[in-house]
Amino acid sequence: MALVIYNPVGGDRAAKDFVEAHVLPLLKTSNVPIAKIVETEYAGHAGAAAFEFVDSTVSGPLEIIVASGDGTVHEIISTIALAPSYKNRSPGIPTQVNLVLVPCGTANALYSSLFLPKPNDDPVRYKLQGIHAFIKRAKHVPLTLAITDILTQPAGKGLVPVREKATVSAVVTSTALHASILHDSEALRAEIPSMERFKVAARQNITRWYSGCAKLFPSKSTGVVEIWNPFDKEFVTHAESDEDDPHVDIDGPFAYFLSTVNVDRLEPTFQITPLVTAEPRAGAFLDLVVIRPYRDASLSGLEAEEERIRFAEKSGAVLGAVYQSGNHINLRYDSTGKIVSAGEGELVVEYFRCGGWEWIPVGSSFLLLRREISLSLQDTEDEKAHLLCNDGLITTIPKGGKAKTMAAAPSGESGFIVYV
């Protein structure tokens, strides 16, 4: 028995018609029994319906057909994974949950990564590939999850940070520019329902830098933090990571800070972490892309406002290269600060492969830069450095708090899989 969930207001608001015209007839002719059909009516409805389905299913496979975007998929996964208990199953992820994707959202990052779009694809047939894969049950992909804790530090020495909130992502976890874009794009959704609203929000935030500190954690499979070396075309151990001290600290300001699991793109042609598919690896890890303006030697830090405006053009060029099959990871600075695609200068984009990361919006108790640059970046002046995006869900890190994201691979017979 399968649960069908669709979000009628996602994407171009066509999910209801698509499900009724194509999905349900295909399931019927394929003799797939349906336990319930849920049209979501409010935020959290999809998660509640999925929890009820899992909680009430005593035996048999847990199969959920989701006609929506990444946000609804995130809601379902996060609700099930973080549920404290079930009537008929153990706490945590209850055995194996089979997800069947029907892309009816705006960007559909997970679907686009698993079912690579082709220029001449018939739109209906393309959207039904996940359903056909489910019917055939020929192949499935286990999902790595990114588990994020929002932590606050209680007053007093030696006290353990308190977990304020947790969420689980299957696509993207970010702060800095990407989180600001997602935050501001929500206000544009009614006026601009298409992906164009993300470009508008990007223009609103492209000159902003974000004050923060980050710590990168090693993956369990390698024991170190790795960074992409475009000369050798391989991941290599980061210079500051070794077996004795595998963590890597990186200071801001930041222009971009985004990690993914399971996906190499956030929309069909926006290939932000191309090595997820080009250089795949088993195990639990995050692919993290970072842009730090002061890797550009032409910036002095003495005219911060003017330099942010000038650097915005370079950020725009980097984001443009993302659409060129992920070529942004090969860009470098020349001796004058110009972005070039060859040479021996500093990489514009740092591409890490790690087991997790910690993000601290900088405040008076944290060191922003380990070198002397005349910047005035205080915690109270940089509210957007506190924004965190988990698959489109925006959370605000409280003042004095931090976010910690770790990769988790499926274990044994438990976890989420997607039919491909």
Among 22-26, 29-33, 59-63, 131-135, the range scoring the smallest mean pLDDT is 59-63
pLDDT per position as a tens digit, 267-294: 999 999 999 999 998 889 999 999 999 9
Task: Check whether residue 116 and residue 189 sit in a common domain.
Answer: no
**For the ranges 80-84, 89-93, 185-189, 275-279, the one whose mean pLDDT is highest:** 275-279
Question: Where a domain ends, among 86, 119, 138?
Answer: 138
pLDDT at 59: 73
Count: domains in the chain: 2
pLDDT at 371: 37
209 belongs to a structural domain = yes
Question: Where a domain ends, among 138, 156, 182?
Answer: 138
Task: Check whether residue 17 and residue 43 sit in a common domain.
Answer: yes
HEC letters along the chain: CEEEEECCCCCCCCHHHHHHHHHHHHHHHCCCCEEEEEECCCCCHHHHHHHHHHHHCCCCCEEEEEEECHHHHHHHHHHHHHCCCCCCCCCCCCCEEEEEEEECCCCCHHHHHHCCCCCCCCHHHHHCHHHHHHHHCCCEEECCEEEEEEEECCCCCCCCCEEEEEEEECCEEEEHHHHHHHHHHHHHCCCCCCCHHHHHHHHHHCCCCECEEEEEECCCCCCCCEEEECCCCEEEECCCCCCCCCCEEEECCECEEEEECCCCCCECCECCCCHHHHCCCCCCCEEEEEECHHHCCCCCCCCHHHHHHHHHHHHHHHHHHHCCCCHHHHCEECCCCCEECCCCCCECCEEEEECEEEEEECCCCCCCCCCCCCCCCCHHHCHHHHEEEECCEEEECCCCEEEEEEEECCECCEEEEEEC
Task: Check whether residue 284 and residue 357 sit in a common domain.
Answer: yes
CATH number of the domain residue 204 falls in: 2.60.200.40
Question: Where a domain ends, among 138, 169, 184?
Answer: 138
| pLDDT(376) > 70 | no
413 belongs to a structural domain = no
pLDDT at 375: 42
| pLDDT(317) > 70 | yes
Question: Which domain, by its residues, includes 157?
Answer: 145-408
Confidence class for position 365, pLDDT limits 50, 70, 90: very low
| pLDDT(360) > 50 | yes
CATH number of the domain residue 36 falls in: 3.40.50.10330
376 belongs to a structural domain = yes
